[in-house]
Amino acid sequence: MNPLRSDRLRALLLCALLVLGGCATMQPDPLPSWSEGPARQAIVDFVRQTTDAASLQFVPPDRRIATFDQDGTLWVEQPMYAQVMFALDRVKDVVRAQPALANEEPFKAVVTGDREAMAKFTERDIFKIVAVTESGLSIEAFQQVVKRWLATAKHPKFQRPYTELVYAPMLEAMKYLRANGYRTYIATGGGQQFVRAFAEEVYGIPPEQVVGTMFRINYEIRDGKPALMSAPELFFLNDKGGKPVGINMVIGRRPQAAFGNSDGDRQMLEWATGSDGARLAMIVLHDDAVREYAYGPAAGQPDSKIGTFTEDLYDEAKKRGWTVISMKRDWKRVFAFER
């Protein structure tokens, strides 16, 4: 029998040719939205150093962990965090279901549209609103509510769904890291259940790779079936010093790379870079008022209560060799819809 007449062997040869063909093809640029410069170079160098088996800084695949803040690092956080926008919309439904809340602050201000009172909301008020909008629902029902909101809500400046306002260069960096054996995690001050509702579709990040702020969840039997029900009580705040703690809770390993944009990410960046070997820490500086927003107050940008990036963090970044990403200079495009 002519061996090439064997169907099985022919199929294998075809496979082999496809494999060889793939190797010979020029790889497309994995970071097309990044300008040439130190930020892009830092990513490429880090991946090369940690994945080349001959490198002294080689990192075994099981320890290739990269964590990303979400608001202001992966998507737009101005003029207000998306989850707060969601909560302000959703709180009206909650008050309809629990009318007693209508006379209670901070809910009253939202329901009556009292903009003056709302402008004075403290962080605690905001948390109260966010917590109540997650509560009283099973975790699955809450995710459906979030999905429905994301399908219709539009960002006030861009007039597009929030899920289109993810930064194309960061999506590329995530994919590039994943293609090199890194597992990419979100480590957000936002709600873990909120972000899980869309992280897989938007970022390719599965639920087990989302670390976030947690509200109390209780196991209950509802209509004879087990359910995980959210309660309006903060259980764990995944921000500032909480981020390394949350990362330890869900991952149990120190990240090799971490990406942030504000003082809420400082401890995560310190933690990721506070051990031996090649480490990558990057901070997005929002210095592009034309394509997105400009705020800091670091590097002479206007001050901001949302996503504050202080001069002090900027100094620490310089001192420790962390890479500040200038949105204006380092990103050829900010959003996928630009072209």
Looking at the Cβ atoms of 241 and 297, the one nearer to its own copies is 241
Q: Does 5 bind its own copies (CB under 8 A)?
A: no
Q: Does 8 bind its own copies (CB under 8 A)?
A: yes
Among 80, 118, 228, 336, binds its own copies (CB under 8 A): 228
Looking at the Cβ atoms of 85 and 139, the one nearer to its own copies is 139
Stretch near its own copies under the rule CB under 8 A, chosen from 115-123, 168-176, 215-223, 319-327: 215-223
Stretch near its own copies under the rule CB under 8 A, chosen from 51-59, 90-98, 127-135, 212-220: 212-220
Among 21, 22, 113, 226, binds its own copies (CB under 8 A): 226
Among 41, 55, 144, 218, binds its own copies (CB under 8 A): 218
Q: Are 288 and 334 in contact (CB under 8 A)?
A: yes
Rg (CA), the chain: 23
Residues 138-177 within binding reach of its own copies (CB under 8 A)? 139
- CA angle centred on 314, ends 282 and 266, rounded to 5°: 60
Minimum separation from the CB atom of position 114 to its own copies (A): 36
Minimum separation from the CB atom of position 238 to its own copies (A): 11
Looking at the Cβ atoms of 99 and 226, the one nearer to its own copies is 226
Q: Tell me the two tokens of residue 232.
A: 């309006």
Distance CA 215, CA 231 (A): 7
Looking at the Cβ atoms of 74 and 210, the one nearer to its own copies is 210
Q: Are 307 and 261 in contact (CB under 8 A)?
A: yes
Minimum separation from the CB atom of position 113 to its own copies (A): 35
Stretch near its own copies under the rule CB under 8 A, chosen from 16-24, 113-121, 156-164, 171-179: 16-24
Q: Is 248 left (phi over 0), alpha (psi -120 to 50) or beta?
A: alpha
Minimum separation from the CB atom of position 66 to its own copies (A): 13
Minimum separation from the CB atom of position 267 to its own copies (A): 5
Residue found under tokens 């500086």: 285
Residues 178-207 within binding reach of its own copies (CB under 8 A)? 192, 196, 206-207
Residues 237-296 within binding reach of its own copies (CB under 8 A)? 241-245, 248-253, 267, 270-271, 274
Cis peptide before 297, with omega less than 30 degrees from 0? yes
Looking at the Cβ atoms of 169 and 246, the one nearer to its own copies is 246
Q: Are 219 and 179 in contact (CB under 8 A)?
A: no
Among 13, 18, 44, 289, binds its own copies (CB under 8 A): 13
Among 210, 294, 327, 334, binds its own copies (CB under 8 A): 210
Among 76, 84, 187, 217, binds its own copies (CB under 8 A): 217
Max Cα separation, the chain? 88
Query: Going residue by residue from 54 to 83, which x/- string records binding to its own copies, judged by CB under 8 A?
Result: --------x---------------------
Which chain residues interact with its own copies by CB under 8 A? 8-9, 12-13, 15-16, 19-20, 62, 139, 192, 196, 206-208, 210, 214, 217-219, 225-226, 228, 241-245, 248-253, 267, 270-271, 274
